[in-house]
């Protein structure tokens, strides 16, 4: 399943560099013509996504690129429509953050036939033919899941009793939900004391995170030792549910989440969230650079990985002033 999605042979940026210009017209774009970039965003489901949108809009303005921005409101059909509209408008480059991994082959073939290069940002697609996109820039979600798992292993070192975990998954079928689950499981499976007793999607939103956590608490109550949330927004929603149930977040239930948005830092500083694994949404400048490189006929690496860290609550107050999203 994962084979073509990332095509692991290409994971390191230095490897498998794709020749962009293969049959594509960008090299021929007149130097004085404003580059037109069509960008299809997933929606506004999280603090992360809002920061990502701002980064893309600001970077396009700074680079003098004409941005045609479309918000898909979390629906793949809307993204496909947006891509088709970009093709009809003959934009120079198409970029998009795919809401789910599968179902892109047809529209990507249409873009290829129209000789419009496609850049994937943030999330990957699962296609057999990886020449359907030029490059994929964004985080290593598998590694983020592993970081979350390693933090938990370290935190519970020496304890022998069961560690009962509930998991709030991201959007069903999305690359971060699939990989963050997989990476976390890969680490915790080494010790049978770790038990994932409930796992359900919260669709990356606060409201859904709260709702699903309420259901977890109703079903499992004080049995729950750990919450692993695939993003900060769901963790923040779940914190409310935990408090409303009369429990203390980050004390009665250890909470691990992903993104490192300001809201998570505030929760950590307030002592309500134990750790957030960083996932940077600030992809705008990199995307504009890539579009301009295409215009200049340059070759791009097939995979551009964002470098990221992990922030436990102990460092939150010190790190907070320098956070950009
Ligand atoms: O694809 C990145 C994920 O999408 C972020 O972790 C999440 O917050 C967002 O909605």
The alpha carbon of 201 and the centre of ligand 1 are apart by a number of angstroms equal to 13
| Mean pLDDT computed over 87-100 | 98
Angle, alpha carbons 82-55-228 (nearest 5°): 90
Does residue 260 sit within a domain?
A: yes
Residue 74 CA: distances (Å) to CA of 40, 80, 97, 134, 170: 11, 12, 11, 24, 12
Does residue 315 sit within a domain?
A: no
Residue 154, classified by CB atoms within 10 Å of its CB into exposed (0-12), middle (13-18) or buried (19+), is exposed
Res 33: pLDDT: 85
Do 156 and 265 belong to one domain?
A: yes
CATH number of residue 82's parent domain? 3.40.50.2300
Do 273 and 218 belong to one domain?
A: yes
Which of 42, 177, 180, 279 has most ligand 1 atoms within 8 Å of CB, for mutation? 279
Model confidence at 26, pLDDT cuts 50, 70, 90, reads low
Ligand 1 neighbours by CB, cut-off 6 Å: 45-46, 48-49, 122-123, 176, 204, 231, 233, 258-259, 279
Look at residue 313 and tell me whether its pLDDT is greater than 70. yes
Do 169 and 269 belong to one domain?
A: yes
Q: pLDDT tens, 164-198?
A: 999 999 999 999 999 999 999 999 999 999 999 99
Do 286 and 225 belong to one domain?
A: no
pTM here? 0.91
Res 31: pLDDT: 59
Contact 17, 301 (CB under 8 A): yes
Look at residue 17 and tell me whether its pLDDT is greater than 80. no
Contact 43, 74 (CB under 8 A): yes
Residue 163: enclosing H or E segment and its boundaries? strand 163-169
Look at residue 58 and tell me whether its pLDDT is greater than 60. yes
DSSP 300: B
Structural domain of 50: 32-138+281-307
For the stretch 164-186, what's the b/e string if a residue is b when 16 or more beta carbons lie within 10 angstroms of its beta carbon?
bbbbbbbbebbbbbbbbbebbbe
Which of 43, 53, 71, 122 has most ligand 1 atoms within 8 Å of CB, for mutation? 122
Does residue 1 sit within a domain?
A: no
Q: pLDDT tens, 196-253?
A: 999 999 999 999 999 999 999 999 999 999 999 999 999 999 999 999 999 999 999 9
Does residue 209 sit within a domain?
A: yes
């Amino acid at each position: 399943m994962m084979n073509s999605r990332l095509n692991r042979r290409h994971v390191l940026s230095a490897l498998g560099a794709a020749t962009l210009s293969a049959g594509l017209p960008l090299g021929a774009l007149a130097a004085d013509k404003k580059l037109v970039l069509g960008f299809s965003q997933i929606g506004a489901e999280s603090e992360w996504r809002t920061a990502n949108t701002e980064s893309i809009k600001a970077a396009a303005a700074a680079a003098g690129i004409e941005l045609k921005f479309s918000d898909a409101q979390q629906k793949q059909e809307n993204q496909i429509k947006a891509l088709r509209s970009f093709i009809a408008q003959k934009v120079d480059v198409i970029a998009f953050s795919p809401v789910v991994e599968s179902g892109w082959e047809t529209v990507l073939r249409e873009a290829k036939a129209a000789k419009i290069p496609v850049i994937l940002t943030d999330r990957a697609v699962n296609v057999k033919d990886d020449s359907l996109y030029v490059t994929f820039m964004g985080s290593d979600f598998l590694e983020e899941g592993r970081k979350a798992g390693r933090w938990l292993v370290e935190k519970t070192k020496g304890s022998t009793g069961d560690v009962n975990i509930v998991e709030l998954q991201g959007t069903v079928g999305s690359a971060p939900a699939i990989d963050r689950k997989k990476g976390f499981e890969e680490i915790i499976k080494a010790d049978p004391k770790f038990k994932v007793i409930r796992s359900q999607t919260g669709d990356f939103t606060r409201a859904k995170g709260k709702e699903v956590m309420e259901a977890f608490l109703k079903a499992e109550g004080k049995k729950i030792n750990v919450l692993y949330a695939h993003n900060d927004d769901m963790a923040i929603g779940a914190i409310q549910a935990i408090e409303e149930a009369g429990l203390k977040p980050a004390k009665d239930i250890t909470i691990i989440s992903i993104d490192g948005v300001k809201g998570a830092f505030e929760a950590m500083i307030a002592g309500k969230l134990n750790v957030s694994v960083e996932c940077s949404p600030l992809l705008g400048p990199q995307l504009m650079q890539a579009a301009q490189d295409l215009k200049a006929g340059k070759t791009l690496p097939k995979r551009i990985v964002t470098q990221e860290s992990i922030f436990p609550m102990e460092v939150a107050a010190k790190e907070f002033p320098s956070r950009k999203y």
